[in-house]
Structure 1
Amino acid sequence: MTTRHDVKILSTGGYVPGDPIDNATLEKYVGPLPDDVLEGIQVKTRHWMIDPATGEHLINNSRMAERASRQALERAGVEPDELDLIVVCTATPEYTLPNVATTLQHYLGLESVAAIELRGACAGWVQALDLARRQLADGTVRTALVVGSEVGSPILAPLFLGKDPERVRMRDRLTLYTFGDGAGAVVLRAEPAEEAADSFAFVNACVGGLRKPGMEIIGGGTDVPQAEQLKRRQLIQMKVDVPGTTTFGPQVFVRAIQEMARKDGRTLDEFDAIVLPEGNADYFAEEFASAGMPAADVKALEGRIVENLADVGATGSAAVPLSLDAGWTSGRIRPGDRIVVLGIEASRYIYTGLSLTWQATFPG
């Protein structure tokens, strides 16, 4: 007979590198954006792992993951050697191999642990969370660490380093003002369920399989011979289809939110918090209705979305856990709340969501 296990998130942790870089400071390096564009992206500050003046790396992806992990472990009262499973999501690892999950394992001083890395971005961390949750629920592991860590600034640095800020292309400025670096983590634990365990609902789909990619990171892979890669304008290049993400992105958000509510058997106004990075950004929120969301659902989202885009920018794999960390530590998310964590990734328009009942009381 299989024992049912109750899976709980014990704590969160977050880390952003260096001091915040506000828009006025960034303008000195990359040139200005029009006020209406700045208002649309809503990012006020971001954190970069590079020195914007020199491009020097001040920390790396795995060390950021370690900082967020240690904070989450300390808040949970869990020692690293109690971990049975580490799952890390990132799209910007230091190396192809070894992966960030095993490097984090090394930094935490663990000789042996199950370690998995998912190559994903904004939606990937929720996939990682569900992967861990399933292994906890079936008794495969008891304690797990799930981390999202992203460093876009090293990829973006060649767009402006050594250039007159006024000569930086406007489309490149839009990307530079949008993205930040960071890492977020949660610690989960499973215990045998004496009563009915918490119910979870999970959704996951790629809905842009036949569309032009909304985002691409090209270079450093095996798409063409290395000699050809070295001839490119940039060794590694980030491409964003701004018109495509602006028009199709809201439709993906709406589809994801509606499917999540159906899967959980609730209406949107029955959720206490919806952790939805970028959910309040003008270029998404203003389009919900035109993307097919009923007026009642648009109204229900008001006051329920938890996000911190203005403070940290778009942080890829770290976006959902950093928003979750901000919601928990600020008291916005409280024990007993029914919450949704929802990630949207633009490369092929992947969405993924997980609903759960929050049980952790913030220490102190």
Structure 2
Amino acid sequence: MLSVYVDLALGLVVAFLLLSLLVSGLNEAFVRVLSIRSKFLWAYLRDTLDGVGDKAPSWLPGSLRDVLVALPFGPDPRPKHSNQPAPADPGEMPATKTSDSMMNLLYARVREIDHRKRGRTSIANIPPERFAVAVMELAATENGNIPEFLNKLQRIDSPLYGHLKGVWESAQGDLDRFRKGVETWFDGEMQRLSMLYRRYVKWAVALLGVVVTLLFSMDGFEYAKTLLRDNAFRASVTAVTEAGPDAYNELKQQCTGGDPVPCVTELLSEPALVKLMGQAMVSVSIPAQGDPSVQGNFPVWWGRITTPSHWPGFLLTYVALLFGAPFWWDVFRRITGIKSRR
């Protein structure tokens, strides 16, 4: 009896794991194609280096709508790609503030780690050490005079001035301590930005979870019931070899037609997961002979979606997908006894 519940748990875990992997894969595909990580970083850098005002609104997403619509499809905050190495001369600080002056100066110092992606930078992560070196190189325009560099940042009204001023005062005039302080500050900012990014990703994953659940019309309760029914059917097939003609006649009554052998073969070769996936909007069938075929199941799919009795099962599947693929992989590993290499 215990094996029945183990099979049930394992079947549910595998289904939720596969669907969670699909959600994660779709999310990662959108992130890569639309360069979300890179845009998110440079939106933050634009706000931090050049500031936010009436004429220059914030580039960093302030709402879920900005992340799902404005950031992927709106104006690109990233600087244009350049395949030239960083100039030997750091260049002059802008005399007056422009919309992207400081950010372009920073990009000129870090573009060695860049490669082209549709004309824009693909940099999605700047190491804190590289950022600190870039700041020191920009300060070299004032012959290494950090106070004068900070004064110019103040004159162009860059928000970076307040952050670096506090770091410089803590360093007490020591350039090496100042560089390390900039590294620590920028590392903390990247951690904060990563937490903000993950918060938005959770909303995107939640939206994709709804889409995947409805697209496959995955009813968790129906799937569990199908697993138990398949287990009982397999038990009755096994009992034929032990119970003799009476069990065979009972099995024959369950299958339509005279010979139960084709019926048993067909049912055993079509597990519960395949049955449920076959009720998606578009399904793939693999016949015993011939090539696989893709077919649309819109009438059947729409009937399932609009049937209220399936909604609790859809809700169960959706909540399960919110736990994520790592959670279900850990549960699967514990049930099967697979040990982690770590």
Q: TM-score, normalised by structure 1?
A: 0.21
Question: Which structure has the highest helix share of the two?
Answer: 2
Determine which structure has greater relative contact order: mean sequence separation of CA pairs < 8 Å that are 6+ residues apart, divided by chain length: 1
Larger radius of gyration: 2
